[in-house]
Amino acid sequence: MSYDLLEAVLPKSAALQSPQADHSQKPQHPWPSALAVVKVSADLVHQPVALELAVSALYRRVAAGQKLLVLVFAFGQDGGMRKSLEQTAMAAFLTQCDLVGLSVRGLKVDQPSDVTDDVLAGALAMADVVIAEGATGAWPMGHPDLDVVSLSARAETLEKPLRVAVAGCGVVGGGVVRRLLAEPGRYSLVGVQVRDLSKDRDMAIDPALWVDNREALLALQPDVVVDALADGDEGYALTREALWRGVAVVSANKQALSRDLDRLQALASTAGTRLAYRAAVGGGTPMLEYLDRWCRLEGRTVVRLEGIINGTTNFVLSQMQSGQSFDTAVNAARRAGLAEADPSDDLNGVDAAAKLRLLAWQAFGKAGAAIRAEPVPFDPAAVAAKPGTRQVAVCERDGTKLRAFIRIEPVSDPVFLRCADEQNALRVVFDDGQVHHVLGRGAGRRPTTESVMADLYDLSCAGSAPVQGRM
């Protein structure tokens, strides 16, 4: 059975129905302008697929720029049982949100009276998602235009499920395949491209769906191809061929995209199809989505991008600076699903340079696609001797030109210093002097799969469009 999260947008007046709300007596408070209150049932934690989809719905809202106050209700329960169920469900939501890379905090209080406006505002200032028990009566009073949403799981089958072919079945591709199989009412998995057909992958997939080349994959007539290949050349060839045929592409392959993103976007436009790639940068961190909104939709001008954008390297650096040897740190990254058998492209900045080109294209337009940042050799001995070392990618305006580079050196910025393990952080500086940060998990199966699924969800919804980038 496929579950879809029904998002029922409640009337604005519903925001006034909190037992604590008295807008005639309360002053206006500095809540985030894009704030939504999301009501969920504690019963979702007993339905693993439904819980995962609920978190996906939260992820999509955060990626679209909203702050969320999630209230977990144990409907039909009273007293201590209600509180216990809500606390258990709250813990499950916190864990799942963290796994996909959302910035999340729990609001646990003993008495409803402890939830003051200042407490709520402070929590929302520190995280994109704040989760509280429904019994607390937490409610942002005085918000001028509150978006109130109720999530409830229900079985659903779309009239025409999206036909999806997946190229690659490694860390990311395998995660995407698993999610597609869990939602047969929304997606139809029509094929999976792998390098070795004889390898046992322990997946409940019709053997006829396995193929070993892009021609066979495209012959299955998918609506969209997911590029989760590790090979940049093969991914680029697949993406060009699919777009030329009018097949949409959702790509997590930054090496393929960074070869000539401008040409690929033009090809998608000419063919009347879509190229979406939020998973290619930042894992579950919505870096491209935020840049798209700031630059294309709001018309703001970026003067500098600076960030930790390779989760694998940051994980290795964090492990080494906690006393682990280089080999031990790399092996730990592999066990965590963060590193390939050969992590050289991650460690030497090749991967970060490719991601930087995609970010620069989003921030600076076509000129950004032409930047080239040279790789920087990774010296384990030097890294171990310098606490606070991070791999940082930079692209900035230098007069009428763009300057881009990768560096591995100690940092003093507190945001970057707090960026541990696979965490990513991007600092965006605008021409008016304002600075914004985007933070989250930058590597791993779950957060990157979530980004891919967000693009696929957009494609499956009539009238929705994934991030297209600047044209």
pLDDT tens-place string over residues 408-461: 999 998 999 999 999 999 999 999 999 999 988 888 889 999 999 999 999 998
pLDDT at 468: 44
The two beta strands, 210-211 and 187-193, are parallel
DSSP 10: P
- Rounded to two decimals, the pTM is 0.86
Read off the pLDDT of each residue in 343-349 and give the average, rounded to a whole number: 95
Look up tokens 């969320």; give the residue: 68
What is the phi/psi pair of residue 379, to 5°?
-110, 100
Contact 151, 129 (CB under 8 A): no
Mean pLDDT, to the nearest integer, of 141-146?
A: 66
Predicted pLDDT of residue 21: 33
CA distances from 39 to 20, 67, 105, 448 (A): 16, 14, 16, 26
Identify whether the C-beta of residue 90 lies closer than 8 Å to the C-beta of residue 73. no
More confident residue, 418 or 6: 418
Catalytic residue positions, numbered? 355
* Stretch among 103-112, 161-170, 243-252, 365-374 having the lowest mean pLDDT: 103-112
Of the two residues 402 and 140, the one the predictor is more confident about is 402
Dihedrals φ, ψ of 295, to 5°?
-90, -50
Ordered strands of the 435-441 beta sheet: 401-410, 389-398, 302-308, 423-430, 435-441
Give the best-scoring range by mean pLDDT among 136-140, 193-197, 383-387: 193-197
The answer on pLDDT for 367 being more than 90 is no
pLDDT band at 31 (very low <50, low <70, confident <90, very high): low
Q: 111: how many CB neighbours lie within 10 A of its CB?
A: 8
The DSSP string of 70-114 is EEEE-TT--HHHHHHHHHHHHHHHHHHHHHTT--EEEE--SSGGG
